[in-house]
Every structure is written in C-alpha cells, then in structure tokens.
C-alpha cells in the first residue's frame, strides 16, 4: 500500500524532504478557523487502506493539539492501514512528575490522549529525564530520531577548533556523543536551579580551552536563561568565541533576541521547530526512524 503524508507543521524545510525521503505522496487538507476560535478540517485525500503519516509542529502546543486530534480522528474514520504521527518536538515531557500537591503527571495524560488515534509516534530527542523511555507511558509504538550526527557534522563543517559544552549533567549523554563522533573535547557544566529564571552555572576545566571555540549544545532552549548564564560564566572565564546549538528552538520571552545580543557569535538550531535559526537538518534521521515503523 502507498504512504500518504499530511503536513500540519507549516515547516516546508522539514516536511518536504521527509515526505520525499519516506517515499510518500503529499496529501491535501484544508483547515479553517472561525471567528469564535473553532476550527474546521476537510480531508481532500482519501486515506482508506493507506499508511497515513501526519507531521505536526507541537511547540506552544495548546492551540495546535486540538486541531491535530480532529485530523487524526477523521483519518481513523476512513479506515487507514495505520496512522503514524511525526512530532519532532514532543511537548509536556518536562511535566513528568508531581511537584506540588494537587498536580498530576501531565506527560502521562498527554501521552494517553495523543495515542488514542495513533498506531505509532516518531519524535526527535525527547526530553527524557525522570522517564527513561517513551514506552513507559506511551501505549503505542514509539521511535526516536536522534540529532547527534546532524549536529556533529554541522559543528565539524562550520566551527574551527571546537570544544563542546553541555549546560548540565543531563546533557552529558548528548555532548559526549557529539564530541566523540568528530573527535573533539567536551565539558559538562554544573547547574543549580533556584527557580524558573534563576540558575547558577559553573564549568570546570575551561583554562586549557580559552582559545578554542566553545559550542554550547542543549536539547531545549526556552527562556534562554541557562544559556545566558553559561555564556556569562564563559565570558568571565576568558572565552572569546561562543556558539550555541539547540535541538528544539522554542525561544520564549524574546529569548532569541536576548541571546543574539549576548556574547554568543552564532545561534543555530535543528529544524524540528520552524525558526530563523534553523541550520541543522534532521530529515534524514526522521526518515531512518520511519523505516523501523511496523
């Protein structure tokens, strides 16, 4: 059977190459928004007996999830062979624990809601912190696409004499893999978080790398406070050349503008979320993950 591809991401720099690389046909749908905020969806491509792939940008998710759920339910009504969602950025992953009385683990609830009309999910480097695998709370088959190689190759091509720096202990797995692939040194910062916008950063071992280009690599850049703090520490330590690479460029609260006016010389991101900083293409990684979908 053929593969039908619907793009809900408005991110042609990712959706077009992914559609081509998985050998799919681009499907057609219309999405109309009424003045009262309700949405209406019309599927213009038949889905019966086909593998249907939906690519959705779920950054800033609350306004995007309900239309996506409508699309998935409408596809399911047409009896496709299977439905696969590609969500390069998977939201609610940071709400993976109960922090205050009266809260719940929203990562689990979101997983259950999203999975109701799916057979499989592909996502890119999700924020797995207290959970070790999506299988722990997603009741469907899940497949991970990784950014290690695309980021490593971008650094190798565009940065001379790099040293990779991770902003906290959680980042060690990524920065070590990236540095190992291109055979460059890496350091991991110590981060103490006192609040959403209050973090304290230190990096040990910088002395021998002051003349190198420090490449800060983080999976999610939201408010940018962590990156700004580590940049300040690097600058105070005598580092002159700083580059920032983000997997998921959320950039809330004018974070991109703040970073652009800092000591960072270049800010780039993967094209998991459409943004002017997108420079690292992850379409190959997503296409490889799709080959594993059963």
Residue 277 domain flag: no
Residues 6+ apart with CB under 8 A from 157: none
Same domain? 162 vs 107: no
The answer as to whether 71 is a domain residue is: yes
**Residues 258, 199: one domain?**
yes
Query: By residue range, what is the domain housing residue 121?
Result: 3-146+282-290
Which of 275, 263, 201 has its CA nearest to residue 238? 263
Q: What is the pLDDT of residue 197?
A: 62
- Mark whether 83 and 171 lie in a shared domain: no
Q: Examine the domain organization and report whether 138 and 124 are in the same domain.
A: yes
Q: Check residue 196 and give its pLDDT.
A: 62
Shared domain check, 54 and 85: yes
**186 within a domain of the structure (yes/no):** yes
Rounded mean pLDDT, 232-237: 93
Q: Do residues 125 and 166 both lie within one domain? A: no
Nearest by Cα to 185 from 220, 203, 212: 212
Residue 261: CATH number of its domain:
3.40.50.2020
261 and 198 housed in the same domain = yes
* Residue 177 pLDDT exceeds 80: yes
Distance of alpha carbon 33 from its chain centroid, rounded? 27
Domain count, the chain: 2
Whether residue 98 is contained in a domain is answered as: yes
Q: Say if strands 213-221 and 186-188 run parallel, antiparallel, or are unpaired.
A: unpaired
Residue 240: inside a domain: yes
**76 assigned to some structural domain:** yes
> For 199-210, what is the mean pLDDT?
86
Looking at per-residue confidence, does 97 or 196 come out higher? 97
Same domain, 119 and 235: no
- The pLDDT score that the predictor gives to residue 193 is 73
Tell me: do 229 and 211 sit in the same domain. Answer: yes
pLDDT digits (tens, 9 = 90+) for 15-45: 999 999 999 999 999 999 999 989 999 999 9
Residues 129 and 161 placed together within one structural domain of the fold: no
Q: What is the mean pLDDT of the chain?
A: 94
My answer on whether 8 and 102 are in the same domain is yes
* Domain membership flag for residue 276: no
Tokens of 264: 């960072």
Is the pLDDT confidence value at 173 over 90? Answer: no
Average pLDDT of the segment spanning 61-89:
97
Residues 67, 125, single domain; the answer is yes
């Amino acid at each position: 059977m053929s593969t039908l591809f619907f793009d809900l991401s408005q991110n042609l720099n990712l959706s077009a190459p992914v559609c081509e690389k998985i050998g799919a046909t681009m499907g057609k749908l219309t999405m109309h928004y009424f003045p009262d905020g309700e949405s209406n969806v019309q599927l213009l491509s038949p889905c019966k007996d086909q593998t249907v792939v939906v690519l959705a940008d779920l950054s800033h998710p609350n306004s995007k999830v309900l239309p996506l759920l409508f699309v998935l339910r409408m596809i399911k009504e047409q009896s496709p062979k299977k439905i696969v969602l590609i969500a390069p950025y998977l939201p609610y992953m940071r709400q993976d624990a109960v922090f205050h009385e009266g809260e719940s683990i929203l990562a689990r609830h979101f997983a259950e809601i999203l999975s109701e009309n799916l057979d499989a999910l592909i996502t890119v480097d999700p924020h797995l912190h207290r959970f070790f695998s999506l299988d722990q709370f997603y009741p469907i088959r899940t497949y991970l696409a990784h950014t290690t190689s695309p980021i490593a190759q971008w650094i190798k091509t565009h940065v001379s004499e790099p040293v990779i720096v991770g902003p906290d202990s959680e980042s060690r797995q990524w920065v070590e893999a990236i540095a190992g692939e291109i055979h460059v040194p890496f350091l991991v910062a110590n981060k103490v978080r006192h609040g959403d916008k209050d973090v304290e950063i230190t990096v040990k071992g910088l002395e021998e790398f002051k003349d190198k280009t420090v490449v800060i690599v983080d999976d999610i850049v939201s408010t940018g406070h962590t990156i700004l703090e580590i940049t300040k520490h690097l600058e105070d330590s005598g580092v002159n050349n700083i580059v920032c690479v983000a997997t998921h460029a959320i950039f809330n609260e004018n974070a991109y503008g703040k970073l652009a006016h800092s000591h960072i010389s270049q800010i780039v991101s993967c094209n998991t979320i459409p943004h002017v900083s997108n420079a690292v293409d992850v379409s190959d990684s997503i296409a490889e993950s799709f080959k594993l979908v059963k």
